[in-house]
A and B are shown apart, each in its own frame.
Chain A
Amino acid sequence: MTAEPTAEAADTFPKLLARNARLHGGRPAYREKEFGIWQAWTWAEAEAEVMALARGLAGLGLAPGDHLAIIGRNRPALYWTMVAAQACGAVPVPLYQDAVAEEMAYVLEHSGARFVVAGDQEQVDKVLEVQPSLPRLERVIYLDPRGMRKYAQPHLHAFAEVQAAGRVAPAPLGAAIAARVAAQGPDDVCVMLYTSGTTGRPKGVVLSNRNIVETARASCAFDRLTADDSVLAYLPMAWVGDFIFSMGQAYWAGFCVNCPESAATMQADMREIGPTYFFAPPRFFEGLLTSVTIRMEDAGALKRRMFRGFMDLARRVGPAILDGRPVGAADRAAYALGGLLVYGPLKNTLGLSRVRVGYTAGEAIGPEIFAFYRALGINLKQLYGQTEASVFITQQPDGEVRADTVGVPSPGVELRVADSGEVFYRSPGTFVEYFKNPESTAATKDAEGWVATGDAGFIEEGTGHLRIIDRAKDVGKTADGSLFAPKYVENKLKFYPNVLEAVVFGAGRPYCTAFVNIDLTAVGAWAERNNIAYASYQELAQHPRVYETIAGHVEEVNRALAADPMLAGCQVHRFLILHKELDADDGELTRTRKVRRRIIEEKYADLIAALYGGAASVYTETEVTYEDGRKGRIKATLAIRDVKRAPEARRAAA
């Protein structure tokens, strides 16, 4: 950063844009791949585009306080639309472009949007379809004119025409907009983002300029993001993360936002751009690793051996080198050679060569997946955030990165863990309110500004890192009062390829026990390699050597749990391997493969009783539903295994 301006000079996006045009005028602000090449706009050009659009929108009647909905894939013009709307005093409301028309109708209706800017014909069609139920909607502006020739509705406008009108707009209009920009301050609304609404109706989270600009400032400082960084904008524009990364931080630090040509070309475009700052959900990294593994299996023998050898080395010393911890000279030299032969080319293929700061969040990432990228020397870190917090609640500082924590509180964030285990936070990024929903606002945010996350966790003694263990509503206590976090333990078990599903019991009981479902593919392959004959799933599941293996996994999990004073009470004492796969057809799982605890507890009450009895085996009959809807019963005798528990050890303060 050259001269960092004072907060009052640049506390809104239009003001930040003017500042960037002044400070970084000749540097790229946006790139978009179109017609096979990267088209670029400097900050000065971006300012001209945005202001022309703002005058065009104001000319169409966009007034202060209006809501303007934006629907489309990540494109510079749609980012400009957000700032242009703000310059007019209006509030941008980005929507998920893959939403169906009815979902869109709810958000458009709830936000009372007067203007919609749609990316293409597909989005326009959806808007027109639901328009009869939206009396407040007045104008629809489309970006891509393709296929729009036949549309003759008078309230439809081409983006290019709106902008062209803005370019030749009379001077007083420009002055009026300048006055609107000057009048805005940190307390005005910056953006409204709808939560995805997995539980009930989507809620409109109102974020102020202060929320966004303060968060951007603090987080840019945390990771030392500067105008030299670049980011790939490919995650939905309606998601708060994209708003912070591609808008907040990009405008604060003045770095370049790169938009891929289409969703399908994202990987290739990423390779060409080589972002230095990158965010992706865990499943992205998982998918990437899987494709690497598959392609390596098809490679020649020499390449395979090199890959295996150097990856073993990288797993051993890579993370230490990345964190700047001492590593022997021989290992360092070998790692450098590996960088030349394996890690460098691999990172280049993945488009991760230049990544200086990478984040993942959203769900638990498998430790070996996380370790793979760290070993390659990619600074992948975890963060924990929410729309209501303008993303950042906690994040991992460089050099303190671990797979099992989500980091320390972000700058300016205060954390509190309630007696129930639920995590609360208070920060400059904390949202203003839920739009037109004071009850939900009151239920989530208290008078002092503390916000409930709905997640249970604890702050690790010594390191100060937050660890999220489960959704707060699933967390309970065992009979002796220690914390019981079933999903945390189940996830740990499910990281083993042999374990397909696990259900842990223990709430209100003396100790924890578990049901385990083996993964037929993984265990079957293992059985084949070891000449173990089996006739059915049931027989394989009850094989003593399978029990041996699973017991080994459970013991490892117990050891990991014992290392955590908070979670030591969750160690599994006894387990059994189920004779059938848990199935959505039997109501045991949801359609998205989440365990339905209560139903399983009722259905397998006899097995649970046996786990808490003392027997070494139990006989059971279970009703199953076949795919064609017929019902049958399966009978089985299931072995129950006791597992060694690790002694509770206090972790040495690292």
Chain B
Amino acid sequence: MTLELLTDLATPITRGILLGGLYVVIALGLSLVFGVMKLINVAHGDLVIFSSYFAFFAMTSLGVDPILSLGMSMPIMFGIGFAIQKYILNRSFRVSMDASLIVCFGISLILENVYQIIWTPLSRGLTTGYALKSFAVGAVNIPLVYLLDFIAGLAVMFFLREFLGRTYMGKAIKAASQDHRAAILMGINTERIYGFAFGLAMAFAAVGGVCLGLTFPFTPTSGPQFLIIAMGVVILGGLGSMLGTFIGGMIFGLAQCVGGYFFGVAAQMLVAYVLVFIILAAIPRGLFGR
């Protein structure tokens, strides 16, 4: 009996671990902004979906493969992110942190409505040829896109680590997130750094959006679901710990896939939500973070 259970579980477990990559990508963008600006961008999920819709647009109207469309969407989203930070969020920080939260909410509303107008509430997906392929490793059946998610997670993580560690800009971002005043005293223009960090987070969101669109169907209101999961990943993994975020992503992927196996696909999100809630209540500082 147990052996059978284990073999049956092998697929959801593997899928869960691979799916974690998607959540890592989404969470890293959120975590970057939170670490540097101490702001939870509640529009982050919707911004990820922006990329999903952009890729959808590229696919259906321009005939460009979603992954290739990243070549366009990443710089565009970087620019959008920089602009949002510079012209809107910056001003809101001067009012109060709560104001920033509410402004992000407003942005989330605006985005969701725009999606609804342009693409209707109908569910969409990035249905390319390879999006439907899967391959088998022994008894385990793995959709190709899950593997892509995992690779994306690793790639983004690796890029971020190198960027933060080796470039002046990256070090400046780290510095600004650890001690804002001291960073200024180093000659760092923290406002510009914030803009850059947010833009970078948006570039990651671009990657996340394409992966998401390939993995799940999405609607104008899909954003908040992934925001909540990303929050859970960030807190579970602990701020500032990339390894932690990676493991957190895996855990959420696992929770979802294994939970879906036991409770049905419809309950997948619920499992994730409950997990987030428990994490928030139990571990205010995350497992790995400071």
* A and B are interacting partners: no
- Which residues of A does B touch, CB under 8 Å? none
Identify the B interface with A (CB < 8 A). none
